[in-house]
Amino acid sequence: MIRRTLETLSFDNTYARLPQAFYARLNPTPFSAPPHLVHANPAAAELIKLDPEQCARPEFAALFGGSALAPGMEPLAMLYSGHQFGVYVPQLGDGRAILLGEATNGRGERWDLHLKGAGMTPFSRDGDGRAVLRSTIREYLCCAAMQGLGIATTQALCLVGSDDKVYREQIETGAMLVRMAPSHVRFGSFEIFYYRKQHEHVRALADYVIEQHFPHLREVGDKYARFFGEVVERTAKLIAQWQAVGWAHGVMNTDNMSILGLTLDYGPFGFMDDYDPGFICNHSDHNGRYAFDQQPYIGLWNLSCLAQALLPLAEKEVLKAGLDTYTPRFEREYLQRMRAKLGFAEEKPEDDDLIRDFLGLLQGSHADYTIVFRELGTFSTAEGASNDRLREHFLNPDRFDGWAVRYRERLRNECSRDDERCDRMNRVNPQYVLRNYLAQTAIEKAQHKDFSEIDRLFTLLQDPFTDQPGMEAYALPPPNWGKHLSVSCSS
């Protein structure tokens, strides 16, 4: 495969062909001093046919640190609105991010390159348009973590740092992150034109998204209703993936919901340590609207907002029928993933109760979600086996023993073999996740220009299901200082 250099890298911007009402054209605001590369993602570079060796060049940091433009880039800030914590906000938009353009690879796939922390835009409101090193490290690493877990996500091409000072809760250094996705269109991209009664723009945006990303619907008579149905399906699958791995987004506003069913806008996210269905990862979420166990419902609520915005294009009852498929689809996806986590190769009527009761045991014992599910792969179905390593995770081992009798019988009923089941379970129960304290450790080192922990975590998280020699400490529960780290929307 012929790879591009920085000199041969070229762009287009189909979003810029939409009417001017959809965006504001402007260039990134460069840092006051030349930026430096913190980390680059070779796999993401390959997606746009860019030779990964180009990432080491100073010109790379200049291009993706807002100081230069490549041919074909037409930078713009995207306009949208959205429901934030359940309240409609009439205008939002890219307040600190700029869509640079689209790069196409050898398979004809288009990738948006979106520069976060690129400076003020007309949609910045009271913000400064910048991102800080802390928040960009968290997003960069979590993109890698989600990719490694097989969860639909935006990707990160690179992280570029600077010595410019940015004020959040304290003075921090600024940074820029280039995130990649086939599209950065959100539910809120449709909402703004619906509520402005600019229904012709709702149609134009729907036609654009279908043309670019749902081409099989181009000539279908009921294409808008079927488009919505596919968004419902993708969203249900995405949130089932989040729930199964124990991950909370933290800010599931409609402007943070991807029309393609991607995990979008990493802020105060969190992987659960101790299993707690009411886990709130965002300390700004005082009422727990976006708690872990609320995410499936919020997915439905957000889709209902999208359905409302599509009313000019499709009949209400047809959209409602599409919306009604969400809950059964989510439940089917979630149950399928949880069966796999427990090692079941077949479907049985008692599975739902077994899963629910096991989660109840985890909750009652404040047991670590990731560690115990990984440990469950070692469960022995042999007669008289004590499974002592597993029992140690539970405050009331007798209750676990009662569940284990049912679990053993369930496994035997499908003639499960322990070694084969363990291999299957280890392919869906990760050994490593991006715990908040791990990200915090990388952040603190990076603030002293030591980027080694970013590189170590980035490599580790790309293969989270495989035991990696010398990395045992990364699979342990968090230390006491790392259990209740405060993470806010500015994170």
Q: Per-residue pLDDT tens for 131-160?
A: 999 999 999 999 999 999 999 999 999 999
Give the pLDDT band of residue 372 (cuts 50, 70, 90): very high
Tell me the three state secondary structure of residue 146.
helix
Report yes or no: 316 and 228 within 8 Å, Cβ to Cβ. Answer: no
pLDDT for 386 equals 86
Band the pLDDT of 294: cuts 50, 70, 90.
very high
Task: Check whether 421 has a pLDDT greater than 70.
Answer: yes
Which of 29-33, 339-343, 430-434 has the least mean pLDDT? 29-33
Please give the pLDDT value at position 58: 93
Average pLDDT over residues 187-196: 98
Confidence label for 488 from pLDDT (cuts 50, 70 and 90):
low
Q: Tens of pLDDT along 37-49?
A: 999 999 999 999 9
Q: Average pLDDT for residues 302-311, to the nearest whole number?
A: 98
Could you tell me whether strands 171-181 and 110-116 are parallel, antiparallel, or unpaired per DSSP bridges? Answer: antiparallel
pLDDT in tens, 381-419: 998 888 999 999 999 999 999 999 999 999 999 999 999
Q: Which pLDDT band, with edges at 50, 70 and 90, does 485 fall under?
A: confident
**Which pLDDT value is given to residue 169?**
80
User: How far is the C-alpha of 46 from the C-alpha of 4, rounded, in Å?
Assistant: 9
Residue with tokens 């390959």: 46
DSSP E strands, 168-248: 171-181, 247-248
Q: Tell me the average pLDDT across 208-216.
A: 97
Q: Give me the pLDDT at residue 33, please.
A: 87
Residue 289: what residue type?
Answer: R
Dihedral of CA 79/82/88/89: which sign?
Answer: negative
Distance, CA of 136 to CA of 439 (rounded, Å): 11
User: Is the predicted pLDDT of residue 490 greater than 80, yes or no?
Assistant: no
- Report pLDDT for 383: 87
* Contact of 38 with 175, CB cutoff 8 Å: yes
| 491 pLDDT higher than 80 | no
Within the chain, what is the greatest distance between any pair of CA atoms?
Answer: 71
Residue 2 reports pLDDT greater than 80: no
> What are the residue numbers of the active site?
255
pLDDT at 444 over 80: yes
- pLDDT over 90 percentage in the chain: 93
Q: Please report the pLDDT score of residue 487 as a whole number.
A: 82
Give the mean model confidence (pLDDT) for residues 335-340: 98
pLDDT for the residue 1: 62
- How many CB atoms are located within 10 Å of the residue 312 CB? 17
185's tokens: 């269109």
Alpha carbon 58 to chain centroid distance? 30
% the chain with pLDDT above 70: 99
CB-count burial class (<10 Å; 0-12, 13-18, 19+) for 383? exposed
Distance CA 310, CA 328 (A): 22
Rounded to an integer, the average pLDDT of 325-337 is 98
CA 124 vs CA 78, 118, 173: distances in Å: 11, 11, 19
Quote the pTM value: 0.96
Q: Mean pLDDT across the chain, nearest whole number? A: 96
